[in-house]
């Protein structure tokens, strides 16, 4: 890692219009490059190890070089053992995660985009209060409300229903805030005025003028909501009592319970550690794919979360 890094640094001309970035010390000091390379190892090594771990037997995991490739045979054996666990329950968990995240995503978009639009572009009583409430709730971590949410949902007898996680997921103030920022900065008011003068109804203005321009924000809110819901653990852990309803994140915890090295009381159900590694890989794949395809979106969102011009 470190060698390729400094090679690349040496190979590229330090000059050009980018030279302003190289204030101060020249390429003579190796320390910054070393620090950056060490952190690259810190961030990447665990991911690499995880991928390789899934290709080994438990014995190889302990005795072989940690960064060696096991065999395709072992990988397929792990796959069969994992999918055999409780009759394919891993697929059920993945499907649950997908269903919960998808429905929550649809509701979030249907609710957050019009709300952000209205707060940015229309006047109504309580608009400012709603905006401030949104900001405060957005900055509050949602784990705070998990136990009270359980009490509430218990009171309306929805415990165990998939809506008990989908609806709380769908409440996504950060998405509303992003939509608000987007519409208030990117949508010229004159455009709306013109449409209104042409006799467009308020709904028509939203549908014909605002929505067609909203593609970037729909994608942004969609990605954020998907990642947040897919990786949520505490809420489904509390609200869904049965294994068949778990999303894959909670399912991982169930698998962990049956790994003998971590829980010596496990009997014949034992899950080998490489199977757990494989399950973890399966659990993160959808998010990783989203990450790879939408890095720019996600970053833009994090930046937008804190700036408003």
Partner 1 sequence: MSPATTGRATTRSARRAPWSVRAGHGFVAGYVLLLIAFGVVPTCYAIYFAFTNANGQFTGIANFTDAASDFRFVPAVEHVALYLVCWLVSLAVLVVGLSLLLHRLAARGVSKALRFLYYIPGALAGAASVMVWLFLLDPSVSPVSFLLTSLGFDTFGQVVDTGNLPVLFTLIAFWTGAGGWIVVMYGALNNIPHEVIEAARIDGASAWQTARRIQIPMLRKWIVYMVILAFAGGTQLFVEPQLLTQASVGVAGRDYSLNQLSYDFAFQNNDVNTAAAISVELLLIGLVVAAVFVARSGFFDAD
For residues 304 and 182, what is the distance between their CA atoms, to the nearest angstrom?
8
Per DSSP, 23 falls in state -
Shortest Å distance, C-beta 254 to partner 1:
9
User: HSE-up of 4 (CA within 13 Å, CB side)?
Assistant: 4
Q: How far is the CB of 162 from partner 1 (least distance, A)?
A: 15
The answer to whether the beta carbons of residues 172 and 142 sit under 8 Å apart is no
User: Is 191 a binder of partner 1 (CB under 8 A)?
Assistant: no
Six-digit token string for 255: 């698998």
Q: Give, as ranges, the residues between 161 and 190 that touch partner 1 (CB under 8 A).
A: 167-168, 170-171, 173, 176
Closer residue to partner 1, CB minimum distance, 114 or 222 = 114
d(CA 145, CA 136): 14
Residues in binding contact with partner 1, number by CB under 8 A: 116
Stretch that binds partner 1, among 71-79, 85-93, 216-224, 298-306 (CB under 8 A): 298-306
Task: Provide, rounded to whole angstroms, the least separation between the CB of residue 80 and partner 1.
Answer: 20
Task: Say whether residue 78 binds partner 1 (CB under 8 A).
Answer: no
- Using CB under 8 A as the binding rule, the residues of this chain from 20 to 39 that contact partner 1 are 20-25, 27, 32, 35-36, 39
Contact region with partner 1 (CB under 8 A), list: 72-80, 81-89, 218-226, 260-268: 260-268
Q: Which residues are CB-contacts of 48 (< 8 A; sequence separation ≥ 6)?
A: 67
Are 220 and 297 contacting, i.e. CB atoms less than 8 angstroms apart?
yes
Q: How many CB atoms within 10 Å of residue 130?
A: 16
Separation of alpha carbons 20 and 18, rounded Å: 5
Q: Does 194 bind partner 1 (CB under 8 A)?
A: no
Spell out, one character per residue from 98 to 137, where the chain touches partner 1: x when CB under 8 A holds, - when not: ------------xxx-xx-xxx--xxxx-xx-xxxxxxxx
Task: Based on the shown chain and the rule CB under 8 A, indicate whether residue 94 belongs to the binding site for partner 1.
Answer: no
Which residue from 82, 94, 149, 239 is in contact with partner 1, where contact means CB under 8 A? Answer: 149
Token pair of 237 as six digits: 């852990």
DSSP H or E segment with residue 82: helix 72-84
Q: Does 82 bind partner 1 (CB under 8 A)?
A: no
Q: Which of 158, 213, 218, 256: binder of partner 1 (CB under 8 A)?
A: 256
Q: Which of residues 209-248 bind partner 1 (CB under 8 A)?
A: 227, 231-234, 237-238
Residue 43 or residue 72: which is nearer to partner 1 going by CB?
Answer: 43
Long-range contacts of 55-63 (CB under 8 A, 24+ apart): 55/274, 56/274, 57/272, 57/274, 58/272, 58/273, 58/274, 61/273, 61/274
Q: 3-class DSSP state for residue 126?
A: coil
On whether the CB atoms of residues 278 and 78 are closer than 8 A, the answer is yes
Binding residue for partner 1, selected from 80, 88, 143, 191, defined by CB under 8 A? 143
Least CB distance to partner 1 at residue 83 (A): 18
Q: Is 309 in the site for partner 1 (CB under 8 A)?
A: no
């Amino acid at each position: 890692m470190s060698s390729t890094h400094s090679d690349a640094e040496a190979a590229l001309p330090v000059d050009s219009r980018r030279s302003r970035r190289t204030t101060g010390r020249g390429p003579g000091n190796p320390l910054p490059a070393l620090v950056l390379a060490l952190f690259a190892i810190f961030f990447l090594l665990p991911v690499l190890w995880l991928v390789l771990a899934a290709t080994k037997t438990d014995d190889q995991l302990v005795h072989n070089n940690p960064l060696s490739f096991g065999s395709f045979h072992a990988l397929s054996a792990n796959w069969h053992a994992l999918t055999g666990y409780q009759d394919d329950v891993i697929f059920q968990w993945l499907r649950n995660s997908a269903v919960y995240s998808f429905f929550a995503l649809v509701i979030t978009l249907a609710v957050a985009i019009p709300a952000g639009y209205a707060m940015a572009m229309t006047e109504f009583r309580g608009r400012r209060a709603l905006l401030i409430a949104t900001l405060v709730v957005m900055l509050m971590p949602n784990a705070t409300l998990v136990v009270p949410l359980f009490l509430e949902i218990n009171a309306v007898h929805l415990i165990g229903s998939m809506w008990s996680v989908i609806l709380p997921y769908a409440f996504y103030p950060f998405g509303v805030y992003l939509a608000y920022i987007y519409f208030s900065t990117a949508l010229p008011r004159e455009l709306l005025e013109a449409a209104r003068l042409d006799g467009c109804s308020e709904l028509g203005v939203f549908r014909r003028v605002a929505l067609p321009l909203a593609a970037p924000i729909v994608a942004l809110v969609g990605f954020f909501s998907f990642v947040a819901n897919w990786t949520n653990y505490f809420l489904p852990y509390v609200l869904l009592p049965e294994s068949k309803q778990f999303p894959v994140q909670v399912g991982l915890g169930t698998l962990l319970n049956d790994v003998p090295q971590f829980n010596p009381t496990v009997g014949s159900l034992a899950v080998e550690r490489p199977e757990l590694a494989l399950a973890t890989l399966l659990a993160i794949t959808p998010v990783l794919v989203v990450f790879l395809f939408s890095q720019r979106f996600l970053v833009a969102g994090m930046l937008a979360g804190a700036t408003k011009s």
